Every structure is written in structure tokens, then in C-alpha cells.
Amino acid sequence: MSLIHEAFAKAKAENRAALIGYLPAGYPSRECAIECIKAMVEGGVDIVEIGLPYSDPVMDGPTIQDAVDISLAAGTKTADVMATVAAVSETGAPALVMSYWNPIERYGVDKFASDLQSAHGVGVITPDLTPEEACDWVGATDKAEVDRVFLVALSSSDERIARVAEVTTGFIYAGAVMGVTGARTSLSDEVRGLVDRVRKHSDLPVAVGLGVSTPEQAHEIAQYADGVIVGSAFVTAIKQGGAAAAGELASALASGLGRV
């Protein structure tokens, strides 16, 4: 059982969903990002998703794009992402990287998986990599014993969900909204149906993200999903109040993850 699966199993044993928190490496600075993520873990984040800053983040909304731009302007490189993973892994929380495919391909598919393993990273979320194009990635991550996370959307057919399930090893990321990331005031009623459809094709944990920002939304999703993913809300909290605000948000979100 991987560290990702252990985190989900622990949450399930406590009758709650796991909390997955996202932050781009290097935001608002490399050192502060690490400090903020550690505060998020102390506040209740079970699994950490560290973003690899990229100049063309097609799935990211304005909040995360702004954070990524700040990180890139400061010169954040893939090596800095790996260093952030290594520092975060010391907390004991599983650390994943979220990266678009182009930076991984440029870095070297095998080298990326191997270096992540060396940094004690446990998985990679690849939002724009399709299962049909993932052959090299499957081989590299299998060799490095790094988990793969692929995405499904509200528009995904059962055939597409089944194909994603075949290549995923960590958890399946279910998008709660159509479109880019960013906090929403409400989430689609179709999300629960998407999670149910995923479970027909896979026994892996299913985590819901894209648009989740409040304890109330987290609580709603926790009633049917294995994990709740929050990103833009953490970026906003850090912009307003640094690590302390990140920890407070994590605590507030974690308090609503119990199942009734």
C-alpha cells in the first residue's frame, strides 16, 4: 500500500474524507511556500499537491495563474519543486507534484520520475496527459514506484472513465466543474453522479476538486467522495495572511470532512 492509499485508508477509518491541499512551489517564495505547506499539514491537510509552475497552465484560473506567474518571475525551476517536495515530505504527509506534461517531457520522463522518488515524492497529477499518450510515463513511474493520478470530468463517458482507471494508480481526480480552477459559490449537482460512475470502474479512491473553497462545500463532497481537493482558496488565504491563514483555512476545511 502506497503512502497515498494509507492516507485515504486512515481518513476512511476515521469516517471522513481526506483533505488534499494544493500550492504552487515558489509561491509566494520558495521558503515561504514550504512554510505555508507545513502550516497546511499542521492544520489538517492529509495529502499535499505541489504545483510545478508552468507558463501555459490551461486548466488554471486567474488565482492560481497569478501565483504561478509570481513563482516563475522569481525563477522557480523543476529542481526547486523537487526540493519543496523533499522538505514537505519531512512532515510525514504524502507529497505529490501537479504538472502539465510539457515540463515533464522537457525534463526527461524517466529522470522526472526518478528524481521525484529520490525527493520522497509519492505521485504525480498530470491534468493534460491522456491515457493514450501515457505509455512512456506508465513505464517510468512503475520503475520509480511513483503513483499516477489522472483526471475525469463531468463530460467524461463511461468508456473514458474506464480508460483513465486502467492507467491510474494513486487516486482518480474528479473535476467538480467544467472549466478552469478557481473558487466557486456552488458546485454542480452532477458531481456525485460522476463519482458513482468512477466507482463502477475502479476501487481506487476518488477525490473531487476544481472549485472547492469553503468548509460547507468540503462537507458536502465528503459525504460521497474519498477526498476533497482545495487549491485556489489556499492561494487566496496565503496572499491575505501567509502561513497562519493557510493553517487556519486547513483547520476549518478539515473540521467539515466528517460523514454523517
Q: Based on the residue annotation, tell me whether 190 is a catalytic residue of this protein.
A: no
Domain boundaries, the chain: 3-254
Cell of 10: 486512515
What's the pLDDT score for residue 177? 53
Catalytic residue among 35, 46, 49, 115: 49
pLDDT at res. 182: 39
Q: Is the per-residue pLDDT at 164 higher than 90? A: yes
Q: What Å distances lie between residue 71 and 51, 114, 124, CA to CA?
A: 10, 24, 19
Q: Which amino acid is at 256?
A: G
- The question of whether 49 is a catalytic residue gets the answer yes
- In order, the DSSP letters of 177-232 are SSSS----SS--TTHHHHHHHHHTT--S-EEEESS--SHHHHHHHHTT-SEEEE-H
pLDDT value for 69: 95
Q: Average pLDDT of 5-20?
A: 98
Q: Look over the chain and give the mean of its residue pLDDT values, rounded to a whole number.
A: 93
- Pick from 236, 245, 233, 255: which is nearest to 21 by CA? 233
Strand partners, 95: 48
* Total length of the chain: 260
Assigned fold of 3-254? TIM Barrel (3.20.20)
138, with CB counted inside 10 A (0-12, 13-18, 19+), is middle
How far apart are the C-alpha atoms of 246 and 236, rounded to whole Å?
Answer: 9
Put simply, whether the predicted model's pTM sits higher than 0.85 gets the answer yes
For residue 98, pLDDT over 90 is answered with yes
Given the residues 60, 115, 220, 226, the one annotated as active site: 60
Residue among 101, 193, 6 nearest 208 (CA): 193
